[in-house]
Amino acid sequence: MSRFKGLFRIYRSIVLYVMCGALFWIPAGLAWAAEHGGEAAAHEGGDLKDLLARCINFALMVIILFVVIRKSSMKDFFSSRREEIRRKLDELRKGKEAAESKVRELEQKLKAFEAEKEQILEQFKAEGLAEKERIIKEAEERAEQILQQAEFTIQREMEAARARIREEIVDLATGKAEEIISKEITDKDQEHLVNEFIERVEKLH
Amino acid sequence: MISSKISRRYAKALFGIGREDGNYEAYGKCLEEFSRFCNENETFYRVISSKIFSTEERKNVLEAVLAKSDFPDVVKNFLRVLLDKDRIAAIADITDYYRKLTDEVSNITRARIITARPLKEDALEKLKQGLERLTGKMVIPQVSEDGSLIGGVVVQIGDMVLDGSVKAQLEGLKESLKRGEYN
């Protein structure tokens, strides 16, 4: 909005300036033409008057220009325009600096992100390796345990089987021994056994 | 348990009377005789110990038997009290405990001797003497036979068991072999 207002003011000043010029240059031109009409007559005495008219014309034009320029506040316009441009330049510079700073910050962030990404990747790789080693170790341990357990079970089963066989053999052997002794034992053997028992009883005393 | 405690109480009561009048051994013999009579005459025992019959009827039966016995009055009265109190069924327990009491006083211990084959007199005597030296009491042997012992002898005195049978030796051998002690 202020931009349109400034343009309008410039346009108005130029129109005023042109109108003023026309206002004063047309009479001056007319005067000059009139004067050139009688040039032949007053050629000699007219030079001084012509110079005077020209000077007055010029002075008037300067005064009018001065007034017009003062009135049209062209100075303010240009100074404000300069200030505005300076401010805008400052703003742009600041914006550029901020943008550059932002860029640098983003670049740093990007670098940090890249570093972090690398670190995370490394960490993941390390964790993956550790997990892999752990899983392998666990699997090995489990396999070892299973083997040990299997060996233990086999050992236990073998011992149990051995014990069962031994028990069966012992039962058979003692059963057979009992059978033979029952058949073969005599009164003399009984007497001997009783005497042995009596000796043991006496030893207890 | 309660029955056992009551039997002990009755046995102690009679034993106390016997100790006072000095006839505890005679009373003991009478109790043994009556208990044996009950064992041998099951019908009599069932009649006097069963509540199917009235006390009066049971008393009459008991009196009929007592009338033919030469038991001292103390023993007869004791048996009547047992019947009145419905404790006559515990006569075996009472007799056992009374025997223990008399044995204690007389320094006697009873040894249950189980043998695979009949024991010779001298072997039994030697065994008895050995047990007397071991216990420090006079031993009354109660010999019985058990062929399953195969050979040897088993003696039980109170809670003590001395096993010299072939069966026990074979069992010991069997257990040792099973434990692998002879490997």
Q: What is the largest CA-CA distance in chain A?
A: 204
Q: In this structure, is the dihedral angle defined by the CA atoms of residues B62, B66, B71 and B72, taken in order, positive or negative?
A: positive
Model confidence at B79, in pLDDT bands (50, 70, 90)? Answer: very high
Flag if B155 and A201 touch (Cβ within 8 Å): yes
Looking at the domain B2-104, which fold is it? Peroxidase; domain 1 (1.10.520)
What pairing do the DSSP bridges indicate for beta strands B152-157 and B138-145? unpaired
Show which residues on chain A lie within 8 Å of chain B, measured between beta carbons.
163, 166-167, 170-171, 173-174, 177-178, 181-182, 185, 187, 189-191, 193-198, 200-202, 204-205
Would you state the pLDDT for residue A202? 84
- Residue carrying structure tokens 């000077």: A55
ipTM, 2 dp:
0.71
Mean per-residue pLDDT for A129-140? Answer: 94
Flag if A170 and B116 touch (Cβ within 8 Å): no
Would you state the pLDDT for residue B1? 47
Let me know: does B94 contact B11? Beta carbons within 8 Å: yes
> Which tens digits make up the pLDDT trace of B117-175?
888 898 899 999 999 998 899 999 999 999 999 999 999 998 899 999 999 999 998 88
Percentage of the residues of chain A whose pLDDT score is greater than 90: 37
Nearest to B110 by CA among B134, B138, B140: B140
Residue B4 has pLDDT above 50, yes or no: yes
CA A162 to chain B, closest CA, distance in angstroms equals 10
Flag if B123 and A167 touch (Cβ within 8 Å): no
Residue in B162, B173, B177 nearest the CB of A201: B162
Nearest to B151 by CA among A200, A183, A155: A183
> Which tens digits make up the pLDDT trace of A58-109?
999 999 888 887 776 666 777 888 888 998 999 999 889 989 988 999 999 9
Would you state the pLDDT for residue A29? 55
Would you state the pLDDT for residue B153? 94
CATH 1.10.520.20 range(s) for chain B read 2-104
Flag if B151 and A189 touch (Cβ within 8 Å): yes
Let me know: does B83 contact B58? Beta carbons within 8 Å: yes
Count of A-B CB contacts under 8 Å: 79
CA B101 to chain A, closest CA, distance in angstroms equals 25
Let me know: does B90 contact B7? Beta carbons within 8 Å: yes
Phi, psi of B167 (to 5 degrees): -60, -45
Q: Which of A90-94, B52-56, B99-103, B178-182 has the lowest mean pLDDT?
A: B178-182
Phi, psi of B59 (to 5 degrees): -60, -45
Tell me the CB-side half-sphere exposure of residue A63, using CA atoms within 13 A. Answer: 7
Would you state the pLDDT for residue A76? 76
CA A152 to chain B, closest CA, distance in angstroms equals 21
Q: Which of residues A17 and A112 earns the better pLDDT score?
A: A112
Would you state the pLDDT for residue B83? 93
Return left, alpha or beta for B146; rule: phi > 0 is left, psi -120 to 50 is alpha, else beta.
beta
Would you state the pLDDT for residue A82? 86
**Interface test mutation site (partner A, options B170, B175, B176, B181, max chain A beta carbons within 10 A):** B170
Flag if A171 and B126 touch (Cβ within 8 Å): no
Let me know: does B109 contact B136? Beta carbons within 8 Å: no
Would you state the pLDDT for residue A6? 55
Would you state the pLDDT for residue B115? 94
Distance CA B10, CA B18 (A): 12
Would you state the pLDDT for residue A4? 54
**SS3 call for B161:** strand
Helix/strand/coil (H/E/C) assignment for every residue in A106-129: HHHHHHHHHHHHHHHHHHHHHHHH
> Which tens digits make up the pLDDT trace of B9-64?
999 999 999 999 999 999 999 999 999 999 999 999 999 998 899 989 999 999 99
**Torsion of Cα atoms, A174 then A180 then A185 then A189, to 10°:** -50
Flag if B162 and A198 touch (Cβ within 8 Å): no
Residues of B in contact with A201 (CB under 8 A): 127, 130-131, 134, 155, 162
The token pair that represents B90 in the structure block: 């515990």
Residue in B126, B174, B180 nearest the CB of A174: B174
**Interface test mutation site (partner A, options B133, B153, B163, max chain A beta carbons within 10 A):** B153
What pairing do the DSSP bridges indicate for beta strands B108-115 and B138-145? parallel
Mean per-residue pLDDT for A13-36? Answer: 58
Task: Report the DSSP beta bridge partners of residue A110.
Answer: none
Flag if A201 and B174 touch (Cβ within 8 Å): no
